[in-house]
Amino acid sequence: MNPPNPPDPAAGDAIIVFDGVCALCSGWVGFLLRHDHARQFRFAAMQDAAGRGLLAAHGLDPDDPMSFLLLDASGARTDSDAIIAVLARLGGAWRAARLLRLVPRWLRDPLYRRLARNRYRWFGRREACYLPPVAERARFL
């Protein structure tokens, strides 16, 4: 039996695959839920079937995910490029995050990866996946 095809983002929408047991990552999702007034982001925990499928479809190991994944009409982005793109899509003052692209990726991504490698040690790990507020559950795959 073949696994279902991972979902593709609809036009104008974006899918964020995040670590659902990471306290930092769950906090990031909460931040986005509060600040994404256009409701353009949907979310998939990398511990769930949809998140695992999206990671695997984009060459990331679902059993050892060390990257944040953003999927939108522009394609797939990871690491610091994904973070910058998400912040810029929030609009308003958050668009200034685009200036971070002036910092070469070879400098940005190692900093991101260090944070990713140490996220449980520095910020903690939850026993169970992040549960979204009832009003936001439709935004989760």
**Three-state secondary structure readout of 14-69:** EEEEECCCEHHHHHHHHHHHHHCCCCCEEEEECCCHHHHHHHHHCCCCCCCCCCCE
Answer yes or no: is 4 within a domain.
no
Answer yes or no: is 93 within a domain.
yes
Give the pLDDT score at 115.
Answer: 92
Answer yes or no: is 104 within a domain.
yes
Answer yes or no: is 91 within a domain.
yes
The mean pLDDT value of the chain amounts to 89
Average pLDDT for residues 49-59, to the nearest whole number?
93
Whether the predicted pLDDT of 2 surpasses 60: no
Answer yes or no: is 1 within a domain.
no
pTM above 0.75, yes or no: yes
Separation between Cα atoms, residue 93 and residue 103, nearest integer Å: 19
Answer yes or no: is 18 within a domain.
yes
Q: pLDDT-based confidence at 11, cuts 50/70/90?
A: low
Contact 103, 39 (CB under 8 A): no
Number of domains in the chain: 1
Q: pLDDT-based confidence at 130, cuts 50/70/90?
A: confident
Answer yes or no: is 129 within a domain.
yes
**Higher confidence at residue 76 or residue 9?**
76
Separation between Cα atoms, residue 119 and residue 130, nearest integer Å: 15
Answer yes or no: is 9 within a domain.
no
Give the pLDDT score at 114.
Answer: 93
Whether the predicted pLDDT of 90 surpasses 50: yes
